[in-house]
Amino acid sequence: MRELDWDGYRNVRDLGGLPTPLSPTGATLAGRVARGPRRELLTDRGWQDARAWGLRAVVDLRCADEVGRRDGDPFVAPDALSGITVVSAPTEDQDDPEFREVCFPILDSPEYWRHNWRILPHLVLGALRAVADAPTGVLVHCSAGRDRTGMVSTLLLADAGVSPASVAEDYAASVRAMAGTGTHAPGDRQASWDAERVTDWLATVTPIVEDVAADVDAAFAAVGADDDLRARLRAGLTTP
C-alpha cells in the first residue's frame, strides 16, 4: 500500500515497497520516507493521518516565498505540527541568473534536474543531507510533489537499488496524480492536462528519469555527496 490516505492531500506516497536487492526484505522499507505536495493542503485530520503513518519530520524543498497558507487552503489547529520538525531545504535559487535562463522553461520536466545540480549543487546536496539527518518518518515535499520532489525521490530510490523502470513509474504516478488540478501552484501548465496529454508527456520524459536513475552515481558525484551520506540515505530505505 504505497499510496497514503492523508486527508486533503493528494499525491502522497510511501517510498517503501519497491523491489531492491539491497534490502534484506527484498524491497524498500515502508514508514521511512514519504513524498507529497505542499503541506498546507493537509487538514487537521490529514495531520492526524500523517502522524498515524509515523510522521516525525518534514523536509520542504520549496523556496521561502512559496511557503505559507493560500486562499482555499484548510485552516488547521495551531498545534497541528506540534512535535514535528520542519526543515527548509530549497533545491532552487530562483534569483540565480543561469538557473532562471536555463531551468525556468522546463521546471515541470525532469529535463531540468541535471541543470539544477550542475548550477546549484550545494542546494541539492543540502536537501539530501536534510533527508539523511531527519528521523525515521520524514515527508519530503515541494509544491506539486512532482518535480523537485521527483528529483530527490529519484536519487533516493536509485541509490537504494530500485530499478530505473520502477523509479520512472514512481515519477509518472505523481504526474498522473497532479495533472488537471490547480491546487498547488498558479500557472502550472499541467493543471489543464487531460489523460491523453499526460500519456504523451510521459512517453517523452520517463526515459529521462530512467537515464538519471541508471547513472545515479554521476548525480551524487555532481552534487558532491560522499560515501557516508549515500550510505545513510540508502540505510534509511533498506536497513531494518
SS3 240: coil
The predicted pLDDT at position 183 comes to 67
Domain boundaries in the chain?
13-238
- Listed in sequence order, the residues at least 6 apart from 77 whose beta carbon sits closer than 8 Å to its beta carbon are 44
Question: Looking at domain 13-238, does it have CATH number 3.90.190.10?
Answer: yes
The predicted pLDDT at position 1 comes to 67
d(CA 160, CA 219): 14
The predicted pLDDT at position 213 comes to 98
The predicted pLDDT at position 187 comes to 75
For the chain, list residues with pLDDT below 50. Answer: none
Q: Retrieve residue 71's grid coordinates.
A: 486562499
Single-letter amino acid, residue 42: L
